[in-house]
Amino acid sequence: MTSKSYRKIQTTKRKPAKKRNKNRKKQAKRSFWLILLQLFAVGVILFSIFFMIVYLGFTGHVPSSAQLNEIKNPQASEVFSEDGKLLGRYYVENRSNVRFDEISPNVINALVATEDARFYEHRGIDEIALMRVFFKTILMQDRRAGGGSTLSQQIAKNLFPRNDLWVFSMPVNKLREAIIAYRLERIYSKEEILTLYLNTVPFGENIFGIEVAAERFFSKSPRDLTVDEAAVLVGMLKANYTFNPRINPDKSKERRNVVISQMVNNGFLSDAEGDVFSAKPLGVRYRRISYNEGPAPYFLEMLKPELLDWCASHSKENGEPYNLYTDGLRVSTTINYDFQYYARQSVLEYMENLQQVFDNHWKNADPWRGNASILQRAIKRSERYKAMRSNGKSEKEIETAFKQKIKTTLFTWDGLKQVETSPMDSVKHYLRFLNSGFLAIEPSSGSLKAWVGGIDFRFFKYDHVMSARQVGSTFKPFVYLAALENGLSPFDYFPNEKKVYKDYQDWSPSNSHGEYKGFYSMEGALAQSLNTVAVDVMVKTGIDETIETCRKLGLDSDLPEFPSLALGVASISLKDMLYAYSTLLNGGVRIEPNYLVSIKDAQGKTLDKFSRVPAQPTNLNGVNCRIITHMMESVVDQGSGRSIRSVYKIPGEFAGKTGTTQNHSDGWFVGLTPELVTGCWVGAEDPGVHFRTIRYGQGAYMALPIVGKFYNKLYRDSRYRKMQYASFPRLGNKLLADLDIPPYREMIELDAEDNFIDRLFAGKSKEEKLKEIQDPSQKKEKKKVWEVIKGIFKKKK
């Protein structure tokens, strides 16, 4: 074989190898695409399986379109004043829903610009944003690129919390939210989705929805939010705590300006407008209105049991009973928002000052003066003690626990303090505090107008409007009314002398100032709050007769059958006392408490209206009631309540009565005007904690200033200034003239005319004299007696 032919053979053999390589490449390419296609098919199949697993709810509930069509957030029930202002809420989540037209366009624009710029273009899922997330956030690890969730997906996340599925949590939850978002967009309009989002989203501090957020941080409704205010709230959505304007104002302002720049970038604001709003201060007007805080937390607590009973006895259309905490009921009451505000302001202003006086009074000493029983009572009243006892802890275990230090928050008048202290020291801390209760009632209707049960409901749950305490001298007007009702004359004089009542264990009442001389009229004795005369008058009247008069006034409390009743040893609540005074001011017509007006559902449909209980006339003499009111005016004009005029400059007709109890444990003041009955109690939670001297411990020092401040604020308000011109029901001119006798006389001399009175009832017992005076057939003789008495006093003037 020649070399030439050999090369031909070799060449011929090489060609098939090249061809084979080419074929192999083609086959490899085909295999690659085949494998890729197969992988894609497998991926599609796996994704389909994954999708169906999520879609069918195996990894967590996916709501159906029908369920999404009935979305209902837990909505707080709200309590309103008579003028439609919010007093407080009952809630599981502090949320109040609003309509789209109740939200400022500034909020909508800020939200869309910041959270979902293509909101009006997509149908629940923003594919462009997802691509951005994939390339920039995932591949390039650029966390500044932002998220890909639309507002609809965020709603899904807020309404249906994510499930923890280990490494599968993120893909499963994202797919689930995308499915829900797509369904939401098919059911709701864009406006409805925006409204749903803004009613759903949390803003920190346990508040939900734009309405509560606008109220909390700017004290206004969502419709009134400006661009910069809206940007603050929308900026908080990124991180509630970090961008909270109260906690981190600098970070909040920085975030607000980012939102404003986004509004500029998306055409909602011009560059110039953006510069103007970015330059503004935050302008936060922080106000907490919840269950524990707000204008009227004690009133809400009082109201709660009645509302729960109402809910239990009233059903929704689906047959379920109403839920006070989730059904968004709107409760209207008789409380006047301004009265409530002035009352609360007056209590807080004066009690802060009084606590300083009290602390200085005791200096470094404990006000309970080493009395272990007072401290033990306080320990057993504490929530911690009650909880440990309910859990079966022994007294030894509780004692040990009360000595161990814990981190806690304490109330002080300088603000809340985060401290490390023992529960025992915490109990001692709160035992030193004085507290207060204030109430205002419209006597003509019985409507509650203001209710302040204490200085801070978060730390002092006990309501001092409802708590029964000894009432002191505020009981004396009832004693004098009983005297008039049982035949004693308002023209009589009574000796101011220290008597021993042998029929009552040799008991002897004393006057607070220690003076015993002269003679006082009822009016004079009431004005000066003389104990000796009050007891003498009640004994002459009869204890049983006095109690009967109190029952007619509406006092159902336990009233001891002892002469000390005249000094107010009975324990009665501020609320009961003021309703008794309302009966007095009404001329003997008794009214019942009235505070609920109506209940509506979340859509504003009226579910129930509440009518007043009809007034109940008693057989109390209206003239006698007006005489006592007239006497109480002297208390304010020249007696123990005169600082109402001299210090607080309250004009117009005003009647009042101070009250101080034994050891100065309780200070009281009741103030009556023609259109309002007000009262205040001040003291410590335990009666064993109190001032040591009458100077500070009297009602005129402890309680009267709060009532004085209240009326001073009220009358300075142009809307209520006309109240000072109202008048009490008139007494006849002749009776008024006859009542104008000296309140005090050094001595009273008997003459022939006095002897006429003795002869008129010669040989007759007290009961017989009383019966004869009250006998209608004896009117002529009775008139004659009174004319004689008036003649005597006119000569003595």
Task: For 460-508, give the DSSP string.
Answer: ----TTTSEEE-GGGGHHHHHHHHHHTT--TT-EEE-----BGGGTTB-
Question: Looking only at Cα atoms, what is the longest distance across the chain?
Answer: 183
Average pLDDT over residues 727-744: 89
Task: Quickly tell me which residue has 């979340």 as its tokens.
Answer: 602
pLDDT, the chain, mean: 86
The answer on pLDDT for 775 being more than 60 is no
pTM comes to 0.79
The answer to whether 465 and 452 have CB atoms below 8 angstroms apart is yes
**Residue, of 190 and 704, whose pLDDT is higher:** 704
Least confidently predicted of 137-151, 266-280, 420-434: 137-151
The answer on pLDDT for 9 being more than 70 is no
pLDDT for the residue 210: 93
Specify the amino acid at residue 525: A
Pairwise CA distance, residues 781 & 792, whole Å: 17
Specify the amino acid at residue 476: K
Q: What is the pLDDT of residues 497-531, one digit of tens each?
A: 999 999 899 999 999 888 898 999 999 999 999 99
Q: What is the pLDDT of residues 320-348, one digit of tens each?
A: 999 999 899 999 999 999 999 999 999 99
pLDDT for the residue 147: 54
Pairwise CA distance, residues 79 & 82, whole Å: 10
Q: How confident is the model at residue 750 (pLDDT cuts 50, 70, 90)?
A: very low
Do the bridges between strand 330-333 and strand 77-80 make them parallel or antiparallel, or are there none, so unpaired?
parallel
